Amino acid sequence: MFNRFKYAAMGIRWLVGKDNHFIIHFLLAAVTVVAGAILMIERIEWLFIVSAIFMVLIAEALNTSIEASVDLATDVYHPLAKAAKDAGAAAVLLSSLYAIIVALFIFLPYML
């Protein structure tokens, strides 16, 4: 049972070492959490913020794993390999847009 946590921790360590975008998303998440704490946002707002943060980090992790799997499977151009990588990138983009929308809905009223 504890091996599963060990392997998950190894996966996070690999993500941090391999994917600069994961680090950027993680740092932006930290800034968002600090802003939420400073502005003392409500519990329900925290729920949306934390959900958006985890959605982006999960999408980035899945995208990186898709890219690694495709790179392992082939080193030549193939339309399906490109489609898999593009779809993974689209998942990150969509989740990031969701996070931005959530942040705007929550933080703008506090700032105005």
Judged on CB neighbours under 10 Å (0-12, 13-18, 19+), 7 is exposed
* Helix locations, 1-112, DSSP H: 2-18, 20-39, 43-73, 79-111
Annotated binding residue at 42? no
Annotated binding residue at 86? yes
Catalytic option among 52, 60, 63, 95: 60
Annotated binding residue at 45? no
Side chain identity at residue 9, one-letter code: A
Annotated binding residue at 18? no
60 is catalytic: yes
Annotated binding residue at 82? no
User: Residues forming the annotated binding site for a divalent metal cation?
Assistant: 67
Binding residues for ATP: 7, 67, 85-86
Which residues are known catalytic residues?
A: 60
Binding-site residue numbers for substrate are 60
